[in-house]
């Protein structure tokens, strides 16, 4: 993966000034791909440009989406930033340094998702992410400004990526997107359902498990087709 493969996603941002500050934080570290999902209030261009300073090109190239699912659909890996835990949230969370190392060794676009300034990412948004990450902070005051959090991640990623020798080698694998992973997960769970596996509730949790597993492993289109063929055959044999 290269720096241009990193996508910063802001879900439901509340302040235009924070969006501008995020643009500046990104450009400082060589990142330019910004996606904004369903802002809480209309974004004010003048306020964003004032805070972005010389990074207005990041704002001008930003993409707007109505749902987080659409914003991450073409990404091979999705990392949600959150400091909270819970039954419906991720059990394992990476530090920014671990995120940088993990992303570097996995090809294809990766989205790093930041939640609303006041509430962060909710459980449904975290469920769409394959990994969780947190910034280790003092427990007495754990809340970070949105642009400060983005700055931490972009700095660590830039430093890690530029310290490694980037090589464009032939034959490197290309992982499938989130849309393709969703298709594979449906094939797998549909096949399991056809043999009576889901006699009790729990399919939705297993779908989330498979989605995260396939994304972290970075499966290719060929591997996706091979796995889908196996589970389709399971369903046919059961019938």
The pLDDT tens digits for 137-167 are 998 898 899 999 999 999 999 999 988 854 4
Please check whether residues 129 and 207 belong to one and the same domain.
no
Write down the pLDDT at residue 166: 47
The residue segments making up the domain with residue 224 are: 178-238
What letter would DSSP give residue 173?
A: -
Please check whether residues 139 and 201 belong to one and the same domain.
no
- Phi-psi group of 161: left, alpha or beta (phi > 0 → left; psi -120 to 50 → alpha; rest → beta): alpha
The number of C-alpha atoms within 13 Å of 120 and in the hemisphere containing its C-beta is: 17
Question: Residue 208 domain-assigned?
Answer: yes
Taking the C-alpha atoms of residue 221 and residue 16, their distance in angstroms, rounded to an integer, is: 39
Q: Residue 85's pLDDT band (boundaries 50, 70, 90)?
A: low
Please check whether residues 219 and 114 belong to one and the same domain.
no
Please check whether residues 7 and 118 belong to one and the same domain.
yes
Please check whether residues 112 and 184 belong to one and the same domain.
no
Please check whether residues 156 and 221 belong to one and the same domain.
no
The number of C-alpha atoms within 13 Å of 49 and in the hemisphere containing its C-beta is: 5
Taking only the tens place, the pLDDT of each residue in 112-138 is 999 999 999 999 999 999 999 999 999
Write down the pLDDT at residue 91: 76
Whole-model pTM? 0.79
């Amino acid at each position: 993966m290269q720096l241009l493969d990193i996508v910063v996603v802001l879900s439901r941002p509340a302040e235009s000034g924070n969006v501008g500050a995020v643009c500046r934080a990104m450009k400082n570290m060589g990142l330019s791909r910004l996606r904004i999902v369903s802002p809480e209030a209309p974004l004010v261009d003048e306020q964003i440009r004032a805070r972005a300073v010389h990074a207005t090109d990041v704002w001008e190239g930003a993409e707007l989406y109505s749902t987080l699912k659409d914003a991450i659909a073409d990404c091979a890996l999705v990392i949600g930033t959150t400091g909270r835990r819970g039954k419906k949230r991720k059990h394992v969370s990476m530090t920014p340094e671990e995120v940088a190392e993990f992303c570097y060794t996995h090809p294809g676009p990766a989205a790093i998702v930041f939640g609303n300034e006041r509430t962060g990412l909710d459980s449904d948004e975290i469920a769409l992410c394959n990994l969780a990450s947190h910034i280790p902070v003092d427990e007495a005051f754990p809340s970070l400004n949105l642009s400060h959090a983005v700055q931490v991640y972009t700095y660590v990623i830039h430093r890690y990526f530029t310290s490694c020798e980037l090589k464009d080698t032939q034959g490197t694998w290309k992982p499938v997107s989130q849309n393709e992973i969703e298709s594979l997960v449906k094939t797998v769970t549909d096949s399991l359902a056809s043999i009576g596996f889901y006699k009790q509730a729990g399919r939705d949790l297993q779908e989330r498990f498979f989605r995260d597993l396939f994304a972290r492993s970075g499966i290719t289109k060929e591997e996706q087709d091979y796995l889908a063929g196996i589970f389709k055959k399971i369903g046919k044999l059961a019938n």
